[in-house]
Amino acid sequence: MPIITELKKNKNILVCPLDWGLGHATRMVPVIEMLNKFEVNVIIAADNGPLDFLSQRFPDNKCIKLSGFSPSYPTNSNMALLMLKAFPEMLKAARRAKSDLNDIITKHDINAVISDNRYELSTSKVPTVFITHQLNIQTKGWQKIGKPLIDFIINKYIGRFNEIWIPDVISGFKLSGELSYSNKFNHNSFNIGLLSRFSELTIKSNNKYIDLLIILSGPEPQRTILEKLLLKQVLKTNLKTVILLAKPGKYFEIKKKNIQMYSHLPDHEFAGLLKSAKIVISRPGYSTLMDLALFDKSAIFIPTPGQTEQEYLANRLLTRKIAFCQSQEKFDLSTAIEKQRGFKGLSLKNESKLLKSRVEHLLNIC
């Protein structure tokens, strides 16, 4: 790859995270920060929570509402059946978003598009990048029957992008494991290192000891179901606990006995809590895992029921004695805290030069 000594300034790069919890938005923070270093115009196109979060995190960047399909998790674990029923609605939303994308490209003179897991946002008008850690969707039980069809559809959509960026390291312990393995895209897929919203921060402890930091995330109604479950159990203890509610739209805080709850916190305050907390409890969403990898923190994971990706990631960390996990249905706080003492915690080194290299290449060709 040629070394780029000077890049044309004032290119317009569109960044589009999926609206599926906040994880796809939070991991766009280092991508946007890297783009800003090259003095290009980063335009953020998102919806709902991701739009609220990124508009607050990057107040100087232009933000556009770009709607898509916003899934809801079932109260049971039959996610596959729910998604199958919602497929016609998903296609309709995808066609609408594709049309909106083309309008945005024309109106704002976009030079390239970076899409985080928004499969529908490819275009022949400009170079496009697809960011994902899932090239190999996990299935279980009867879902395995449909795996060939799932792979065919996924590969068809991903194949329309010019490049695939995988947020993981190149060698050593790969956080994504088999999720990112596929021999279909060896020619245009690149590992760009871990993407953490905290990677550019000077992280300091807030000097306030915390027994538990609970990070809620993901789509409803499962986010609220987990909130109620954990709230009930923590209130029966004397553990000093902070709960982050993942609601960036409007700030509020609530105090309940030994629990302090925040709707949302700026990254530097969030990072201080992470550093000060003895134990973190959260969903094993991939973006959360990338964030926790910076802190070498003891963690307890509760996979979203029916989400095979989170179940795979949590079980993989469990078998390697890195982090304890327990199902939501059987979760018991006292048992989880006792069990996690035998686990070493998650700690991985990031390599920002990998992301920088791909950004340089993208800006050179657009």
Residue ranges of domains in the chain? 12-196+350-365, 210-340
Share of the chain above pLDDT 70, in %: 90
pLDDT of the residue at 286: 96
> pLDDT-derived band of residue 3, with 50, 70 and 90 as boundaries?
very low
Query: May I ask the CATH architecture of the domain 12-196+350-365?
Result: 3-Layer(aba) Sandwich (3.40)
Share of the chain above pLDDT 90, in %: 67
> Above 50 in pLDDT, residue 4?
no
> pLDDT-derived band of residue 138, with 50, 70 and 90 as boundaries?
confident
pLDDT of the residue at 92: 78
> Above 50 in pLDDT, residue 166?
yes
pLDDT, average across residues 125-150: 86
3-state secondary structure string across the chain = CCCCCCCCCCCEEEEEECCCCCHHHHCCHHHHHHHHHCCCEEEEEECHHHHHHHHHHCCCCEEEECCCCCCCCCCCCCHHHHHHHCHHHHHHHHHHHHHHHHHHHHHCCCCEEEEECCCCCCCCCCCEEEECCCCCCCCCHHHHHHHHHHHHHHHHHHCCCCEEEECCCCCCCCCCHHHHCCCCCCCCEEECCCCCCCCCCCCCCCCCCEEEEEECCCCCCHHHHHHHHHHHHHCCCCCCEEEECCCCCCCCEEEECCEEEECCCCHHHHHHHHHHEEEEEECCCHHHHHHHCCCCEEEEECCCCCCHHHHHHHHHHHHCCCCEECCCCCCCHHHHHHHHCCCCCECCCCCHHHHHHHHHHHHHHC
> pLDDT-derived band of residue 78, with 50, 70 and 90 as boundaries?
low
pLDDT of the residue at 47: 93
- Of 71-85, 147-161, 198-212, 240-254, least confident by mean pLDDT is 71-85
The rounded mean pLDDT for the chain is 89
pLDDT, average across residues 135-139: 83
Please tell me the CATH code under which domain 210-340 is placed.
3.40.50.2000
pLDDT, average across residues 77-96: 65
pLDDT digits (tens, 9 = 90+) for 316-340: 999 999 999 999 999 999 999 999 9
The pTM of this model reads: 0.90
The residues near 315 (Cβ < 8 Å, ≥ 6 apart) are: 325
> Above 60 in pLDDT, residue 73?
no
> Above 90 in pLDDT, residue 363?
yes
> pLDDT-derived band of residue 224, with 50, 70 and 90 as boundaries?
very high
> Above 70 in pLDDT, residue 70?
no
Domain 210-340 in the same topology as domain 12-196+350-365: yes
> Above 80 in pLDDT, residue 280?
yes
pLDDT digits (tens, 9 = 90+) for 344-362: 988 888 778 999 999 999 9
